[in-house]
Structure 1
């Protein structure tokens, strides 16, 4: 999850403080539509699995907690 947090921080240099497990990344505009595909590629790299976007919803990416549960179940 550290790689994911660092990626979010790199896209949001004005972000201060920690990114909590339940912070809404979409609502806070920490991940926007322009960065979304890059974010999916990062998740594929970190998780070691391909992601089929047709079987997902935006809610799967809403918080770090949901991302952990959906894409990194062994963590």
Structure 2
């Protein structure tokens, strides 16, 4: 999860403290519509798999816990 939190911190330089695994990244405006495709590219790179946007919902990207569960569960 470190590459994801590093990316979030890069996009949000004023972010202080840890990011909870259940914090809503979208509601907290840590991911916005302008960065969303870049975030998907990062997840594809980390997981080694393509993400079919027809098979996911916005809730799959809402928290770090859900991102881990949905896209990175088989990644060390």
TM-score range relative to shorter protein = over 0.9
Partner of 1:15: 15
CA RMSD of aligned residues (A): 0.7
Please state if 1:5 is matched with 2:21: no
CA deviation vs aligned residue, 1:26-52 (integer Å, no higher than 9, x gap): 000000000000000000001111100
Name the CA distance, whole Å, in 2 between partners of 1:40 and 1:62.
12
Partner of 1:57: 57
Please state if 1:28 is matched with 2:28: yes
Gapped runs of 5+ residues in structure 1? none
Gapped runs of 5+ residues in structure 2? none
Give the TM-score taking structure 1 as reference length. 0.97
Structure having the larger proportion of residues in helix: 1
